[in-house]
Each structure stands twice: as structure tokens, then as C-alpha cells.
């Protein structure tokens, strides 16, 4: 089995302030579903039934592998699987969406937006879609003759959809030609898996759809084993959805706080933590000493100037500053000459003593000659 078999501890479901807006965290995968409705003309072959439309968007914000506005093979595959899971399973009463037979019916649109991709997209998309449909409320409608009036939520309470059951997808990945089975694979595990089995089931143990991909041959016992695991996971997820719906209903009824804004502040920065990684640190000090002893002294190299472009240069990038060296050499030469003049003045007593008054700060020098006093 995999490292996360038959667990739903990483699942989180929250609802927005508007009806039909659902946010699902399944591991590190995040998906938002938004349900909306509009009045349209029904199909000619089914004039008494409403329509259900599913749309999945894979944004580059979720993964760099996705491109905006491009209908990839994965996107088409996910849309078809979601339609088979929810629409073909007849989980929603489409006849209750009829307003006027052959003229006006409700079209329910489910937009699924992928916010972060870490694998297991179909499972998270099915949970978000069915939870959003259960949370959605359509406006009430009044009919007077041929006139159809749609009432706002302030005038009349909105009406929930008629949902028979909640089908949920569970994914199984196989490795080494079916030798190893992993439940709820992440994005890295999906890259190296040999095959994928996807089972859509409700809490009544009714299989709504089943699909195998990857070209791997599965035995009957393997499929039965996966179906038993799926029934347990579906029961847990269904209970989680019902609990989230009850909490949202209670918060709206009592006037409490609800919506995404109330669920996000609970994730405080001080509460976040990372998994502990076991690192062996016993022989690190010995290896560090060996590396230091074996290390050779780097040779003294003359720094080279950095030329960013022809005709340009940089000052202070590791070069020695040669500014002011000429002035220092001139000052040293002047001091040597002054010392020599003083020594010559002491030797020549017949002449006047030469006293040199110099100021290091001034550029000019003052020379004062004191004549020797002669006595008769």
C-alpha cells in the first residue's frame, strides 16, 4: 500500500459567502468550485429536463506546466471524467429544473478552478463540484400566465437543488506492473506510476463510473480490493461534506461568521510547521576537520579589472586603490631634503643658521635665515 492509504485527514472543505462557492484542500492540491444558473430554452428531445454544464480551468498559477487558453489533453480528460461522475450518474434531478415545459428550464453551470496542483486532480474536483452543488441555491420562480418572474433572495428564499446521492472519485496508482498499490497519489507519484484506476462511488457502495488508464492489466482481485478501499474513503469524505454543510447552515442561521475570510485567519504563521528531516550529524565535525587539513592555501592572485562593456570600467571591485600615491611620494622626498639641509646648516657655522619652518598642511614653505652674531 501507499504512504497515505484510506485517510482523509488532509482534506478541508469550506464555503464562501455566496451559495455554491466551495473551496477544497486535498493535501497540497487546492480547487475552487463556483456554481451558477440561468434560464435557457431546453433541448427538443428533452423539453422537461434542465441542463448541467461542467467546466474545468487549469491556470498557470497552479502549475507552470499549464498554459492559459490552451485546451490540453489533460483538460479534456478531466472534463469528461467529471461529466461521467456527476451528470451520467443521475445524481441531480434534472426534471426539477424545469420551469415551463419546452420553453424555460434552468441550466446549472459548475466552474472548477485549479489553484494549486499537487496531483489527484480528479478526486479534488469531484469533491468540490458535488459540495458546491449541495451548497447551491437557485432563485425562486413565479409563473402568471405566460409571464415568468424570477424573485431575488430578498423577496423569497432561494431553493436548493434536488440531489439524490453524492458520487466521489477515488484514484489508485499502480507500480511495477500492479505489484504495489498507492491510494491518493501526489503529482510526483503520478509521473512514475505504471497505471491509474479511478472509481466513482457513493456512500451506498454504488459504483457510478470506473476507468483504468496506463495500459496495465489488472486482476479481478485487485479491482475488488480497490473498490473496498474506495467505499471506506467515500464514506469518510461524504461525512466530511455533510458536516461542513451543517456548520455553514448553522452559521448563516445564527448570524455567525462564515465564508473564506473566516476560515483563512485560522491558519496562523506561528502554527505552521515543517516535517522533521532526520540528518546524521555525528561524523560531520570529523569530516570538516579533514577537509580543512587537506585544503590548500589559495595562491595570491592579482585582481583584474571588471570590464562590463568596451570603454567602461569599475572602481573598487577588488582592485588596489592607487589614488594619492604620487602625493605621498612627493611628501617623503621633501622631508628627506629638509633633513639634509638642516644637517648642512649645522656643519657650516660661519654662515647663518638656516631654520626651516614647514607646515604639513600648507603647500608653501617659509625659510628664515638667522645671521650669526660676530664678536670683535
State yes or no: pLDDT of 31 exceeds 60: yes
* Candidate from 39-43, 61-65, 255-259, 303-307 with smallest mean pLDDT: 303-307
Amino acid 68: pLDDT = 79
Sign of CA dihedral 94, 99, 100, 102: negative
133 neighbors 24 (Cβ within 8 angstroms): no
DSSP string, 112-170: EEEEE-SS-HHHHHHHHHHHHHHH-EEPPEEEETTEEEEPPTTTS--EE--B----EEE
Task: Identify the CA nearest to 169 among candidates 94, 86, 73, 88.
Answer: 86
State yes or no: pLDDT of 69 exceeds 70: yes
Question: For 113, how many CA atoms within 13 A lie in the half-sphere containing its CB?
Answer: 12
Q: How far apart are the first and last CA of the chain?
A: 126
The domain segmentation of the chain, as residue ranges, is 11-166+225-268, 340-376
Amino acid 50: pLDDT = 93
Q: What are phi and psi of 19, to 5 degrees?
A: -70, 135
User: Which CATH number fits the domain 11-166+225-268, given the four candidates 3.40.47.10, 1.10.10.10, 3.30.230.70, 3.40.30.10?
Assistant: 3.30.230.70
pLDDT bin (cut points 50, 70, 90) of residue 327 is low
Amino acid 23: pLDDT = 93
State yes or no: pLDDT of 108 exceeds 90: yes
Number of neighbours of residue 153 by Cβ within 10 angstroms: 11
DSSP string, 34-66: EEEEEEEPPPSS-TT--EEEEEEEE-TTT-TT-
Amino acid 3: pLDDT = 40
pLDDT bin (cut points 50, 70, 90) of residue 8 is very low
- Of the chain, the percentage scoring pLDDT greater than 90 comes to 40
Residues β-bridged to residue 207: 201
Q: What confidence tens digit (pLDDT) does each residue in 290-316 have? A: 887 887 766 655 556 666 666 666 655
170 neighbors 230 (Cβ within 8 angstroms): yes
Q: What confidence tens digit (pLDDT) does each residue in 79-88 have? A: 999 999 999 9
Q: What confidence tens digit (pLDDT) does each residue in 335-353 have? A: 777 777 777 666 555 555 5
Amino acid at each position: 500500500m501507499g504512504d497515505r492509504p484510506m485517510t482523509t485527514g488532509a482534506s478541508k472543505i469550506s464555503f464562501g459567502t455566496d451559495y455554491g462557492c466551495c473551496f477544497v484542500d486535498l493535501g497540497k492540491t487546492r480547487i475552487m468550485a463556483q456554481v451558477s444558473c440561468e434560464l435557457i430554452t431546453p433541448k427538443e428531445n428533452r423539453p422537461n429536463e434542465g441542463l448541467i454544464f461542467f467546466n474545468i480551468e487549469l491556470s498557470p498559477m497552479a502549475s507552470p506546466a499549464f498554459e492559459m487558453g490552451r485546451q490540453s489533453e489533460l483538460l479534456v480528460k478531466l472534463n469528461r471524467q467529471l461529466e461521467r461522475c456527476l451528470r451520467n450518474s443521475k445524481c441531480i434531478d434534472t426534471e426539477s429544473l424545469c420551469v415551463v415545459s419546452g420553453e424555460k428550464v434552468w441550466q446549472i453551470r459548475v466552474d472548477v478552478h485549479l489553484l494549486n496542483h499537487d496531483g489527484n486532480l480528479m478526486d479534488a474536483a469531484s469533491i468540490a463540484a458535488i459540495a458546491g452543488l449541495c451548497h447551491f441555491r437557485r432563485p425562486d420562480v413565479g409563473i402568471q400566465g405566460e409571464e415568468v418572474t424570477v424573485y431575488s433572495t430578498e423577496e423569497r428564499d432561494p431553493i436548493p437543488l434536488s440531489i439524490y446521492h453524492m458520487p466521489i472519485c477515488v484514484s489508485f496508482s499502480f507500480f511495477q506492473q500492479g505489484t504495489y498499490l498507492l491510494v491518493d497519489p501526489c503529482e510526483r507519484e503520478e509521473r512514475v506510476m505504471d497505471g491509474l484506476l479511478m472509481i466513482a462511488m457513493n456512500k451506498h457502495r454504488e459504483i457510478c463510473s470506473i476507468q483504468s488508464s496506463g495500459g496495465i492489466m489488472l486482476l479481478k482481485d485487485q479491482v475488488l480490493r480497490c473498490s473496498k478501499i474506495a467505499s471506506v474513503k467515500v464514506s469518510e469524505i461524504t461525512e466530511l461534506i455533510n458536516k461542513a454543510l451543517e456548520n455553514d447552515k448553522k452559521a448563516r442561521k445564527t448570524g455567525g461568521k462564515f465564508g473564506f475570510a473566516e476560515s483563512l485567519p485560522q491558519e496562523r504563521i506561528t502554527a505552521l510547521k515543517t516535517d522533521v528531516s532526520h540528518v546524521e550529524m555525528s561524523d560531520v565535525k570529523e569530516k570538516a576537520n579533514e577537509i580543512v587539513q587537506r585544503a590548500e592555501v589559495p595562491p595570491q592572485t592579482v585582481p583584474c579589472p571588471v570590464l562590463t562593456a568596451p570603454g567602461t570600467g569599475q572602481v573598487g571591485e577588488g582592485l588596489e586603490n592607487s589614488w594619492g600615491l604620487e602625493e605621498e611620494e612627493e611628501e617623503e622626498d621633501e622631508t628627506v631634503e629638509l633633513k639634509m639641509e638642516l644637517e648642512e646648516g649645522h656643519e657650516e657655522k660661519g654662515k647663518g643658521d638656516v631654520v626651516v619652518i614647514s607646515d604639513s598642511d600648507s603647500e608653501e614653505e617659509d625659510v628664515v635665515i638667522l645671521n650669526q652674531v660676530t664678536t670683535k
